[in-house]
Amino acid sequence: MRVAILLVGLLTLLGAQAEEADHAAALASLQRADSLLIDVRSAQEFSAGALPGAIRIGHDEIAAQIASIAPDKDRPLVLYCRSGRRSGLAKQSLEELGYRQVINAGAYDDLLPLLEADQ
């Protein structure tokens, strides 16, 4: 019984941290002139390749730095990382701060071909 309770708790915790990527919403938002594309990966990952126009703010730094970059809480923010996990966590942090238009675009490798095809 304890194992079942632990498994349910673990799955609930993982589900709370997992955030589904919304590629369609990300692409639509990036068509807006006021949207901001944010790479929440590490500096090393960013230097190895990033989406055009993206700025880097680590997922663990975003809550402390976002107000200086995007003080308007209605500004569309599109986040991505390597797998979508960190961008999901960053999205959750930003929503807790009151940002209303935050989109988890998911993984860099999944988003790159979509952006190239959209151009």
CATH number of the domain within which 45 lies: 3.40.250.10
Q: Bigger pLDDT: 23 or 117?
A: 23
| pLDDT at residue 97 is higher than 90 | yes
| pLDDT at residue 12 is higher than 60 | no
Confidence (pLDDT) at 24: 92
Q: Is 81 a catalytic residue?
A: yes
Q: Bigger pLDDT: 12 or 26?
A: 26
Residue identified by tokens 């966590």 is 89
| pLDDT at residue 9 is higher than 90 | no
Query: Of 118, 77, 69, 115, nearest to 94 (Cα)?
Result: 77
* Euclidean distance between CA atoms 56 and 87, whole angstroms: 12
Is 44 a domain residue? yes
Q: Could you tell me the residue range of the domain that residue 94 belongs to? A: 20-118
Confidence (pLDDT) at 116: 84
Q: Which residues pair with 104 in a beta bridge?
A: 79
Say which amino acid occupies 13.
Answer: L
Number of structural domains in the chain: 1
Q: What average pLDDT does range 17-34 have in this prediction?
A: 86
Q: What average pLDDT does range 51-79 have in this prediction?
A: 97
Query: Of 49, 47, 79, nearest to 61 (Cα)?
Result: 79
Q: How confident is the model at residue 117 (pLDDT cuts 50, 70, 90)?
A: confident
Contact 37, 30 (CB under 8 A): yes
Q: Bigger pLDDT: 50 or 8?
A: 50
> What 3-state class would DSSP assign to 24?
helix
- Find the catalytic residue in 54, 81, 90, 111: 81
Query: Of 101, 95, 61, nearest to 81 (Cα)?
Result: 61
Is 64 a domain residue? yes
Eight-class DSSP state of 83:
S
